[in-house]
A = this chain, B = another copy of it.
Amino acid sequence: MAEVSILYNKERAVKLMNEAGVEGVIATTPENVQYITGIPLRTTSWNMQIYALLPKDESKKMAIIIPTNRLSVLSQKGIPDADVYVHGTFYLLGEPTDDITEDMEILVGLLKDRHVYNDALEALLAALSDKGYSNEALAIDEMRMSPTVMEGLKKQYAGKISYGYRLIRQIRLVKTQPEIERLRKVARLNEEGELLMIGMIKEGASEAELAQAYREFATRNNSITGMIAVGGGPRSSLPLIEEYLYSFKKGDLVRFDLCLQHNGYWADTGRTAVLGEPNAWQSKSFDAIYKGWEHALSMVKPGAVACDIFNSTMDVVLHSGIDVFKRQHVGHAIGLEIYDDIVIGPTDHSVIEENMVLNIEVPYYLLGSGGFQIEDTVVVTKDGWEFLTGAERKLFVC
């Protein structure tokens, strides 16, 4: 069986739970559940409820609350060091035979004498009771718990309940080594797909062909695509692209902004290319945003404040050859969600810490005239940062 990676940051979890005055957190969104348990768990409708309870007291095991039929997924993905509570009827008949595979042996063990709760609330209340919770404060990821379960819990559990989606996202900001390795891997994969697309740019080639090549690249590499923004000519100035309508001609800019997920973790990287030699405006604009991007990076280190990085980067771009430049941000934290809990924008006062993983990007969209992108991923080090991306940082000439 695959060993389950421990993804979550134990030390930070305890620290932030202490600061929030809670004795445990309950994850409900797939990303938060994967963060706590180490494994992905799929649902087939919004009614299906899957939770992970992480006690602050490290001597207590975590609890996983899942529908009974998800036990076979647990047994295949590897069981975290957790107590498992199942809800809902599911039948699996027969006695195991000698030739069953290892995951099936684990499944048999999981099924044996296990109590099946009627629903997710009952299973969750049992888990809380078994873990010794009676009137302790708990933070609950409010984004994927059915409101009727949440109301039932508030009625039947004596302790104070606060919302915990943001708390778990705050814990998630400082990455552990297994997370950094996953983020490095997916960043590199994403760039490989991007370079494949850049290599396909020629007169008459289309956005659609490039996007499809990227999708097929992702599938070959056991990855899932998010936004695939590939815009040529006037469409290079469109931030989000989900339909592909344009074929390239000489002189066109082609802007890329690509989101890829592998093993639960996201990459979001971007480059700009030009078909033929760039004209003066294209070169000047790229140079300006490159200077801004370089400046943003130069400010990244522990102790830096997100909005300071933003404000100072905007100044640099506006003094580098672009007259009108407005942005809502110049980057964001990334991890199990494309947008983790820091946005490097004017109102975010988050303080950067070691082992945060940040996307630094300075896109420039001039409606119709063209668009530029440079976006890289870095991990914050003790006194600066280190790239997780590696592709050349230039205006690609095709």
**Residue ranges of A at the interface with B (Cβ–Cβ < 8 Å):** 2, 29, 31, 42, 44-48, 69-70, 72-73, 76-77, 88-104, 107-108, 142-144, 146-148, 150, 163, 165, 215-216, 218-220, 226-227, 233-235, 237-243, 245-246, 259, 324-328, 337-340, 364-369
Contacts and interface: CB of A to CB of B under 8 A. Distances in A.
A240 B101 contact: no
Nearest to A339: B45
30 contacts: A2-B243, A29-B46, A44-B227, A45-B339, A46-B165, A47-B339, A48-B339, A69-B239, A70-B240, A76-B242, A88-B328, A91-B365, A92-B237, A92-B239, A92-B367, A93-B365, A94-B366, A94-B367, A94-B368, A95-B367, A95-B368, A100-B368, A101-B234, A103-B243, A103-B245, A104-B238, A147-B147, A148-B163, A216-B220, A218-B219
A366 to B, nearest CB: 4
Number of copies: 2
Contacts of A365: 91-94
Contacts of A143: 46, 146-147
A241 B91 contact: no
B368 A99 contact: yes
B234 A76 contact: no
A33 to B, nearest CB: 12
A338 B242 CA distance: 24
Contacts of A146: 142-143
Contact of A367 (B104, B148, B220, B241): B104
A92 B235 CA distance: 12
B90 A234 contact: no
Given A143-B146, A144-B46, A148-B163, A234 B92 contact: no
Contacts of A165: 46
Nearest to A246: B101
Contacts of A29: 46
The interface centre, meaning the residue of A101, A226, A337 with most chain B CB atoms within 10 A of its CB, is: A101
A6 to B, nearest CB: 19
B328 A91 contact: yes
Given A142-B147, A241-B76, A97 B369 contact: yes
A188 to B, nearest CB: 21
Contacts of A88: 328
Contacts of A107: 238
A97 B44 contact: no
Closest 3 pairs between A and B when the two form their complex, measured CB to CB: A97-B368, A94-B366, A94-B367
Contact of A93 (B101, B245, B367): B367
Contact of A240 (B69, B89, B97, B338): B69
Nearest to A28: B46
Given A46-B144, A46-B165, A97-B367, 7 more contacts: A69-B239, A100-B368, A101-B234, A101-B245, A103-B245, A104-B234, A216-B219
Contact of A147 (B48, B102, B150, B235): B150
Contacts of A241: 72, 76
B99 A240 contact: no
A266 B311 CA distance: 46
